[in-house]
Copies of this chain bind each other. A is one copy, B any other.
């Protein structure tokens, strides 16, 4: 009976570890939108959602802000229509550059959430 129990337990143990890993992954993920083309960030976001992540944050600074909005809208309306909500949009400012040469750039964070 023991070998049978062991056999029964083995897949369960694996299942548990897998479920824990999924739980870790399932929480939150963040993508920094930069110089690449918008489709890179769209696909990165879709892949995250398909891997079970619940919330994906698109973050951008300066002129990449429009691209982050584009990526969020393309994911929401074309790739996963009806499955993704915009949970939050936050804007802010950040200081960049070396001391003495500091400038302020605007930032955005768009939180996409799987329904």
Q: Which residues on A are within 8 Å of B, measured CB to CB? A: 62-66, 69-70, 72-73, 77, 86, 89-93, 104, 106, 108, 110
Contact = CB atoms under 8 A, between A and B. Distances in A.
Contact of A66 (B65, B90, B93): B65
Contact of A89 (B64, B77, B91, B104): B91
As for how many copies of this chain the complex holds, the number is 2
A91 B66 contact: no
18 contacts: A63-B63, A64-B66, A65-B65, A65-B66, A65-B69, A66-B106, A69-B91, A69-B106, A70-B106, A72-B91, A73-B91, A73-B92, A73-B93, A73-B104, A73-B106, A77-B104, A86-B91, A89-B89
A55 to B, nearest CB: 16
Contacts of A70: 106
Nearest to A61: B66
